[in-house]
Structure 1
């Protein structure tokens, strides 16, 4: 308990946190009802429970010990959740790696977390899993194959609800990703909130088309469906036409997708001819939700577009609900969640009562215990009084609705993923032709923002040549620029720093209609 914020005892006393684990939730569901409709097939709750126990036994047989950290690199599907649950049953901590991570990111996460191995399918996105493990320096490769599991399952008891059970990464401003610690109770906190916001009934059908290791994907596919016994439709990787087909075929009622994904659904030619009448609710976010596209989605499907505002570190801080007026639902981040203990801070003073603007800070049940083995990052994340700082600037109106007005950190939010401008700058700056670089966001109608690199070069450099260099360096594709502009010099502001505001304005003029 000493690792957690000081109000942990209060979370348990109020019933916000409980001792129930994800494994216990899976085991109490009707074993004959469907848990996952996935690329590998359809799995019942009973099959999910048994397969995860058998995989847990294989971890034990392989010599892994309780407390070990096991990195898992998988595309979406049922195997992802079987692997996560098996680790929990064997007492292992899962290090979730995004399916599109480059080798440099994998190397960093393996080293930072002290992972004892890298678990993959035999082949991951066209590359042998063993080759990825060897190239990235994993202590061992753990091939995941449901067809070759021990006959008997591991009896547990496994990890508890307050134990560290998952480590996922988040974009940082100091270079490579930081590692965020998660407990089951942190992620379970979303369940009752989502249930109330969407007014869930007993027969909902979920579809989560998000990468599973990140916060949104974790609660929407791994935790909340298990909490309520809902079947969940999964995809290997997002494809708009395939997602639309699955929604129609399986009569999905609750869709979970980042903003860029639902815009891609709207833009798909199949959208007009697909029966989406089953949809009641779509949870979206991860970036600014464009009002007109959200309104269009509601009008064309009849479902309510909802969002949680929060972060991987802070958990849910505010939420829109089906009972909110459409204007509030689509133009704000909803009302603050009382238990999240949200505050607005400006120059160290609490300006919440005045409605801000101020930086959002929180201290509640969804907050991470902190970054893994990173004192400097934790000192920046938490104030001395234990309040977590989000880096977002917000206001609260007279109706109690929160609106995000800016960001303190230098991030580009592309398709729901936080891309650190500094990370891209460091990668681009590693090219021998680049003398100086600055990275900014370009507004985009589908992805929200795209990445533009301004460079001062020593000799001619094309975007294609730069991408060849980044690929060879193992830089994750999410950290590749999509636009490249060469200038004789970068503009400077009055303080002598690069004037990124001028570059953003220039990029908007160049690349947006």
Structure 2
């Protein structure tokens, strides 16, 4: 690459995990490290020492303080050690949002092992793939919300022979040769280690063993493998160090200005980086993390009011739109909210901000592989906070390059690349994809299109693969989406490309209308004509009432395939 203009912030990550005061401990817990980038175990141990009785987890049917979380995670770590989990082993956590999910994550960290959060929406084939690809030694699950998903039944389907296992403490499963046990919180099921066995197991391992494991864990060892899906391939496991998680998300919390008295509401599933990261940021600043087993707008508004939530992290437009469109929004007292974050086009962000007029709205650019790369700041002007993705977080460098790898001038679109202590260490057991993504100098190539302005703020424009080529002209889907979102009837927009015999590709859009609003497809197309370049005007618009979703994102590829089938076009085109 040629000479670069790099944008970074100089406030290197130092975690802030307490507000003073040690308390006597009944067992020899590992001592908290200095207030630098720490491990996940250090994060909890430090928090429990500094503010033991402060609430850390708030769920509809459970409330845990920092010291209670420490005690439960420590006890769980002893039981897991008795089951043979060793430093460097991988432990799958297959649950919906619940306190035991967090307990399992920190217990794994205390052992120097690696947690693998598993998407709770996965079914048997996907579950089997994760178990073998991640080489899971142990899976931890629960029977919470069995009416929604029966995790034991899924596990039995995924692993032939599990239901007939003679010894659940020493499994031998052809489909998962390295898997030795599956632990279930709640009622014991055939082939699974029940919750009632955890106490006797924990008694087999002393506290000093766990303390040694904590002390021996390096901050650059792998803390988590988080699977992220591509559009055409199996999910890939992004390996994240303790430094990338704890150090970087602590810096994220500092830019937010998280305070010990804050209550941080996060509805995103805890197998996703957009929930794990905010949990870490919350704990790094001694605050409370508020969540639920699943997202429901009515329950969410009740939670926010009851717990006087001060920070909100809905992040994804479908969640936010559901929240602010619910009838209870008009009657619930949400005046406690002082700051929240959403990711959407500027016109949509402007409308979202109006729903919480007393709160500062932030936005971000990031990914599983790098967490929040850039973030707006509370002190920035409103138009900056909705019109850009902000500046890089501490220690992170961001550049925009062309197809040759050369840095482009300010204001010119290109591929976004970044590097810093936030970066993942590669894809688990996938050296080819790792080499394609992490290139010389440690630069992460994102496949995202964006531009940097003169103040070093990032503007996200879309995916390289999603960039449309209409008659030789580049069209960023985000640009068309932003314009269509300005129509008063439009709630959400997604843009895709479809084949065209003359122009090679043309724009197609899917829109969801506000409740009670009306707008025909012809009206929406007319709204664009003469106001944006003709090659950007959608040739086809479809009004939808629901979206095909992954865990958190709208699946454009599914929308495009359905439209191609409707139009009688080849799906692979």
Structures share a fold, TM > 0.5?
A: yes
Can you list the C-alpha shifts for 1:78-110, whole angstroms capped at 9, x where unaligned? Answer: 111001001111222111111212222212111
Is 1:232 the counterpart of 2:232 in the alignment?
A: no
Contact 1:39–1:77 (8 Å) recurs in 2? no
Distance in 1, Cα, partners of 2:381 & 2:553: 39
**Residues 199 and 26 (structure 1 numbering): CA distance in 2 closer, same or farther, change over 3 Å?**
same
Aligned partner of 2:156 in structure 1 is 134
Aligned partner of 2:22 in structure 1 is none
State TM-score, norm by structure 2: 0.68
**Residues 195 and 70 (structure 1 numbering): CA distance in 2 closer, same or farther, change over 3 Å?**
closer
Aligned partner of 1:177 in structure 2 is 235
Distance in 1, Cα, partners of 2:398 & 2:141: 39
Q: Count matched residues.
A: 432
Q: Write out aligned runs for 1:98-117 (5 A).
A: 98-117=119-138
User: How far has the Cα of 1:379 moved from its partner?
Assistant: 2.0
Distance in 2, Cα, partners of 1:441 & 1:211: 28
Aligned partner of 2:510 in structure 1 is 442
Contact 2:143–2:151 (8 Å) recurs in 1? yes
Distance in 2, Cα, partners of 1:115 & 1:360: 33
Distance in 2, Cα, partners of 1:84 & 1:289: 34
Is 1:332 the counterpart of 2:388 in the alignment?
A: yes
User: How far has the Cα of 1:443 moved from its partner?
Assistant: 4.2
**Residues 442 and 106 (structure 1 numbering): CA distance in 2 closer, same or farther, change over 3 Å?**
farther
Contact 1:266–1:297 (8 Å) recurs in 2? no
User: How far has the Cα of 1:374 moved from its partner?
Assistant: 0.2
Is 1:90 the counterpart of 2:111 in the alignment?
A: yes
User: How far has the Cα of 1:266 moved from its partner?
Assistant: 0.7
SS of match in other structure, 2:107: helix
**Residues 401 and 64 (structure 1 numbering): CA distance in 2 closer, same or farther, change over 3 Å?**
closer
Is 1:26 the counterpart of 2:17 in the alignment?
A: no
Contact 2:365–2:460 (8 Å) recurs in 1? no
Is 1:270 the counterpart of 2:328 in the alignment?
A: yes
**Residues 316 and 443 (structure 1 numbering): CA distance in 2 closer, same or farther, change over 3 Å?**
same
Is 1:241 the counterpart of 2:298 in the alignment?
A: yes
Contact 2:401–2:407 (8 Å) recurs in 1? yes
70, 95, 99: which one pairs with 2:91?
70
Distance in 2, Cα, partners of 1:488 & 1:363: 43
Contact 1:40–1:78 (8 Å) recurs in 2? no
User: How far has the Cα of 1:295 moved from its partner?
Assistant: 3.8
User: How far has the Cα of 1:488 moved from its partner?
Assistant: 7.2
Kindly report the root-mean-square deviation, in angstroms, between the aligned alpha carbons of the 2 structures.
3.4
Aligned partner of 1:47 in structure 2 is 68
Is 1:383 the counterpart of 2:463 in the alignment?
A: no
SS of match in other structure, 1:107: helix
Consecutive unaligned residues of structure 1, counting only runs of 5 or more, are: 1-10, 414-418, 422-439, 447-469, 499-513
SS of match in other structure, 2:120: coil
**Residues 147 and 178 (structure 1 numbering): CA distance in 2 closer, same or farther, change over 3 Å?**
same
Aligned partner of 1:252 in structure 2 is 309
Contact 1:58–1:149 (8 Å) recurs in 2? yes
* Higher-Rg member (1/2): 2
